[in-house]
Amino acid sequence: MNTPHRSVLYQEIIHALHPVTGGRYVDGTLGAGGHARGIMEASAPDGQLLGLDVDPQALAIARRSLAPYEHRIHLVQASYASLSDQLARLGWDAVDGILLDLGASSMQFDTPERGFSFLQDAPLDMRFGPGMERTAADLVNRYSERELADLIYQYGEERDSRKIARAIVKARPLHTTRELASVIESVSPRRGDRIHPATRTFQALRIAVNEELSSIETVLPQAIEALKPGGRLAVISFHSLEDRIVKDFLREQSRDLVNPPYEQIYEVERRATLKEVNRKPILPSDDEIRDNPRARSAKLRIAQKT
Ligand SMILES: C[S@@+](CC[C@H](N)C(=O)[O-])C[C@H]1O[C@@H](n2cnc3c(N)ncnc32)[C@H](O)[C@@H]1O
């Protein structure tokens, strides 16, 4: 790979999508282009890829690392939530495989000025791309105490959400990651070797700023619609909120919908649209986690269009 950022579950993704010569693929979360490169190599000489990312910096890096394949790659700065529109624009009516490697990239985490990390002082931004309307500072400084507490509880699964929201409202305006982290530390101190007390609040803000959960809910039905029969969808999630949406959707779409439910005589309203390739998610190996700690919480789910 041309990049210092390792793609999580790389072999597993290439195995799951099983790219073939002449196939058409979508990478909805291009990042540095690591998985995309594997797809291009495996689908040589004429497989094609539509690569999306909302982050212009990621696209610029991916464009460089994917230069050898540029004649069969289409790179677009857009959200995967607009998948159907992007495919229509290309004139592709069906594709062989779709990858979503959700969340932020290590490149984004490791760029202090993007504001994702509380370990470095930077403006409270946290936008994946310039298209997002609100920064983390906007939410922190404008939401009511109640709204902040709900957000931190729902998207951060943080038990101390009320205490943290109260402290934020008292201390604001807050402009930087360190300012916010110290407010959180003051009311929610470190407990034993648990994660840093600001971790969950930062996750919650990032999810809200980038409308992460609603984007996933929006793209999944479009992905099924776009796949050819036998085509595969592979989704890597990094926290339980994302994974729950993906898991519930794949389960629901893998069952026939019958009416009335639970009766012996029923009509089939909708046939299952997907088959889950693995009932349990695929997790990174211990070796991968040792080499790339970011992989620690990754879960891969794969489904095949019926
Ligand atoms: C985990 S990284 C992907 C890494 C990539 N698979 C690789 O191999 O380098 C996730 C990427 O998805 C992008 N992203 C997040 N939300 C998005 C959305 N709604 N639409 C498109 N891209 C998004 C982020 O900007 C980030 O670059």
pLDDT (tens digit per residue) in 51-106: 999 999 999 999 999 999 999 999 999 999 999 999 999 999 999 999 999 999 98
Whose alpha carbon is nearest atom 16 of ligand 1?
103
Q: What are the Cα distances from residue 276, in Å, to 61, 98, 100, 235, 294?
A: 33, 14, 16, 12, 26
- Ligand 1 center to residue 198 CA distance, Å? 23
3-state helix, strand, coil in the chain (%, to 5): 45, 15, 35
Three-state DSSP state, 74: strand
- Residue 126 is which amino acid? M
pLDDT in tens, 148-186: 999 999 999 999 999 999 999 999 999 999 999 999 999
Distance CA 161, CA 150 (A): 7
Q: What's the predicted TM-score (pTM) here?
A: 0.95
Residue 284 confidence (pLDDT) above 90 = yes
- Ligand 1 center to residue 301 CA distance, Å? 17
Distance CA 96, CA 270 (A): 23
Q: pLDDT grade, residue 5 (50/70/90)?
A: low
Instruction: For residue 3, give the ligand 1 atom closest to its CA.
Output: 9
Site of tokens 């195995």? 15
pLDDT, position 76? 98
Residue 1 confidence (pLDDT) above 60 = no
Instruction: For residue 34, give the ligand 1 atom closest to its CA.
Output: 8
Is there an atom of ligand 1 within 6 Å of 53 CB? yes
Is there an atom of ligand 1 within 6 Å of 242 CB? no
Is there an atom of ligand 1 within 6 Å of 35 CB? yes
Q: pLDDT grade, residue 4 (50/70/90)?
A: very low
pLDDT, position 135? 98
Distance CA 210, CA 218 (A): 13
C-alpha atoms less than 13 angstroms from C-alpha of 291 in its C-beta half-sphere: 12
